[in-house]
Amino acid sequence: MVYSGKSGESLWWSWFDGTKWYGNIELFNPMRWPKPVPMAECALSVELEGDTLHLVYVDGGDLYYSSCNVGNPANASLWQATDWTSPALVMAAPNQVDTGDRLNFSTPSLAALSSKFSGAASFALAAQCNQNIYFAIGTPPSWQLSPVTSPEPGETPVVAYGPTMVAWDKVFYIFYIDWGKKLWYCMLGDNGDFQSIYQIIASSTPQGQNTPAAAVFDEQLCIAYTGHGTYSDNLYFAYSDNLPRLTVQITGHLHPL
C-alpha cells in the first residue's frame, strides 16, 4: 500500500507478505526526486500478468506516475524505496476555459487491464478535475485524459467525491458522490465511450461524504462508503447481484437519472 504520511508532506510505502508487515518507507525523497506536495492523493495497482506495481499520484494538482518491479524476492524485506522509478508527468492540470484559472486533478483511480483486453499491458486511469471525470486507457505513463461526457443532456457526471473505478468484462464502472451526497455510477465501454449513468438505490438511498471504494469479488460488484450527517462515522456496504455486460442490479432497485 502507498499512503500519505501523518504530516501529509510525502508518500510512504508498506507491504505485507502474509505474515508480517514491512516498509513504512518514504518514497522519492531518499533519491531527492520531486517530493509530493502535502496530502498527495494516490492510486496503486498491479499488472494482471506481471509483477510490477504502478502508482499514479497528484502533485501540485498535476498527475504523476511511477512504478516498481517487485519480482519475487526470497525476502520481501529487501524491497527498497529506491526500487521505484523517477516520477514522470502524466498530465498537467488544465486551465478553466472561461476564466483561465488553473484547475487541479484529484482522487486518481487505476484499473489494470488484461492483455486480452487491449493487446498490451495497460491501465485505465480516471481522476476528478473541476467536478468532471477525466478518463483514458493507455500504457503508463502515456494516458491522454479527456472529460467523460454524455450525448444526452443532463447525463454527464458531476462529481463532489471520487471517482473510484473497476473494470469488468470490458466495461468500466466509475463510482462517485454528487453534491447532494448521493452515490452514482456511470458505465463506459471498452473504448471509453459513454454508456449510461445510474443512481445507486440499496435498502435505503445511500448518502456519503468521501470517495467510495469498489471491488469485484465472486462476480459481484461491491462498494463501501461512509455515511452522511448523523451517520458520518459509519461505514456502509452494498453489492450487485451479478455483472452481466452493461447492466448492474444493485441490491434493491436501480433508478436511472
Full residue range of the structural domain in which residue 241 is found = 148-257
| This prediction's pTM | 0.85
Contacts of 99 (CB under 8 A, 6+ apart): none
C-alpha cell at 211: 470517495
pLDDT per residue of the chain (257 residues) written in tens, 0 to 9: 888 877 667 888 888 878 888 888 888 765 555 565 556 788 999 887 778 889 999 988 999 999 988 776 666 666 766 678 888 999 999 888 778 788 999 999 999 887 665 556 689 999 999 999 999 999 899 899 999 998 888 889 999 999 999 988 788 999 999 988 888 899 998 888 998 888 887 655 555 667 888 988 877 888 888 877 666 677 888 887 655 443 443 333 333 33
In a domain, 135, yes or no: no
For residues 170 and 226, membership in a common domain is answered with yes
In a domain, 130, yes or no: no
In a domain, 85, yes or no: yes
In a domain, 177, yes or no: yes
Q: Alpha-carbon distance 246 to 257, whole Å?
A: 16
For residues 106 and 160, membership in a common domain is answered with no
Q: Alpha-carbon distance 28 to 83, whole Å?
A: 10
3-state helix, strand, coil in the chain (%, to 5): 5, 50, 45
Q: Alpha-carbon distance 185 to 178, whole Å?
A: 10
In a domain, 131, yes or no: no
Instruction: Please tell me the total count of domains within the chain.
Output: 2
Q: How far from the centroid of its chain's Cα atoms is residue 213's Cα? A: 9
| Peptide bond before residue 141 is cis, with ω within 30 degrees of 0 | yes
